[in-house]
């Protein structure tokens, strides 16, 4: 049976986390404020948990998340600097920060590799039991997602060979690393344990595909129901002579061609 502290200071914040994120990204200022307050309260509740991290599965999962804050933050800021310093019209950053974004992404990958091969997350010499499961699930998801992104960029994109090459490289590199772990292991873990953890990754992948498919079906269903309830729109009346003259004047002004 779960301890009351785990229910109130772990599982309840986990369930309320999507609500807080949704409120933070809302358009209304009062909802954004409520979301920020909720996220702060959830963080305080989790941090104030009295139980040691190595005494429960929930504590180990928090330890894993804390261990990954560094590489995750470096990757997120690197992607942000790289994307928003390019030729985009939405909140562009100076072009000079783009190399710094690439450096942060390389730092994140190197940090993760160092944790994988040399410094597995542990407490007092006891390795985190979630680490192998996380790594195998993460690499498997990268192989699948980057592979689909490559195919999507080639099929649906226009002159997206560069982006497709990057996605294909990520998918292939993740696959090679996953096979290496299953065959050779690391300095701290035998390959037998990696192969055992890989079976759990199949369940995660199946859940991801099932959840994505279900979300897509629900989205299509709601769109179909909304359009069905709207009914057939009324026919649009043709332009009268005055409206036609106004449209012709606008076209000739912007194109320099008399209509």
Q: Which pLDDT tens digit goes with each residue over 84-141? A: 876 666 667 788 888 888 899 899 999 999 998 888 888 887 888 888 888 888 888 8
Q: Which residues of the chain have pLDDT under 50?
A: 1
pLDDT of residue 15: 87
pLDDT of residue 148: 86
pLDDT of residue 52: 76
Q: Are 42 and 111 in contact (CB under 8 A)?
A: no
Q: Are 128 and 63 in contact (CB under 8 A)?
A: yes
Q: What is the pTM of this model?
A: 0.70
Residues near 66 by beta carbon (within 8 Å), at least 6 away in sequence: none
pLDDT of residue 233: 72
Q: Where are the beta strands (DSSP E) in 52-159?
A: 122-123, 126-127
Angle in degrees, CA 237, 238, 244, rounded to 5: 135
Q: Which of 101, 181, 106, 105 is nearest to 139 (CA)?
A: 181
Angle in degrees, CA 34, 39, 44, rounded to 5: 125
- Count CB-CB contacts under 10 A for residue 157: 11
Q: Which of 99, 101, 134, 100 is nearest to 115 (CA)?
A: 134
CA distance 128 to 192: 17
Domain ranges of the chain: 1-51, 69-120, 123-232
> Measured on CA atoms in the order 119, 123, 127, 128, is the torsion positive or negative?
negative
pLDDT of residue 86: 66
CA distance 109 to 50: 33
CA distance 10 to 209: 26
User: Tokens 């699948």 appear where?
Assistant: 144
- Count CB-CB contacts under 10 A for residue 37: 13
Q: Are 183 and 174 in contact (CB under 8 A)?
A: no
CA distance 171 to 175: 6
pLDDT of residue 79: 84
Q: Where are the beta strands (DSSP E) in the chain?
A: 122-123, 126-127
Element at 116 (helix H, strand E): helix 98-117
Query: How many Cα atoms sit within 13 Å of 47 on the Cβ side?
Result: 7
């Amino acid at each position: 049976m779960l301890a009351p502290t785990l229910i109130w200071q772990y599982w309840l914040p986990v369930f309320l986390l999507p609500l807080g994120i949704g409120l933070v990204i809302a358009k209304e200022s009062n909802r954004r404020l409520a979301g920020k307050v909720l996220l702060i309260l959830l963080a305080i509740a989790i941090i104030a948990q009295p139980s040691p991290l190595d005494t429960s599965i929930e504590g180990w999962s928090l330890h894993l998340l804390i261990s990954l804050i560094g590489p995750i933050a470096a990757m997120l800021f690197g992607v942000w600097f790289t994307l928003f310093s390019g030729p985009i019209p939405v909140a562009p950053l100076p072009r000079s920060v783009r190399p710094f974004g690439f450096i942060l992404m390389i730092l994140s990958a190197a940090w993760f590799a160092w944790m994988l091969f040399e410094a597995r997350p542990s407490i007092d010499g006891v390795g985190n039991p979630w680490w192998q499961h996380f790594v195998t699930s993460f690499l498997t998801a990268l192989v699948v997602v980057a592979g689909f992104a490559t195919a999507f960029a080639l099929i649906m994109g226009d002159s997206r060979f560069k982006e497709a090459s990057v996605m294909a490289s990520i998918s292939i590199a993740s696959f090679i690393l996953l096979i290496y772990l299953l065959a050779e292991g690391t300095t701290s873990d035998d390959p037998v344990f990696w192969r055992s953890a890989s079976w759990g990754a199949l369940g995660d992948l199946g859940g991801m595909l099932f959840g994505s498919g279900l979300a897509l079906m629900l989205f299509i269903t709601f769109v179909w129901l909304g359009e069905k309830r709207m009914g057939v729109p009324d026919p649009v009346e043709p332009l009268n002579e005055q409206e036609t003259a106004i449209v012709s004047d606008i076209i000739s002004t912007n194109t320099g061609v008399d209509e």
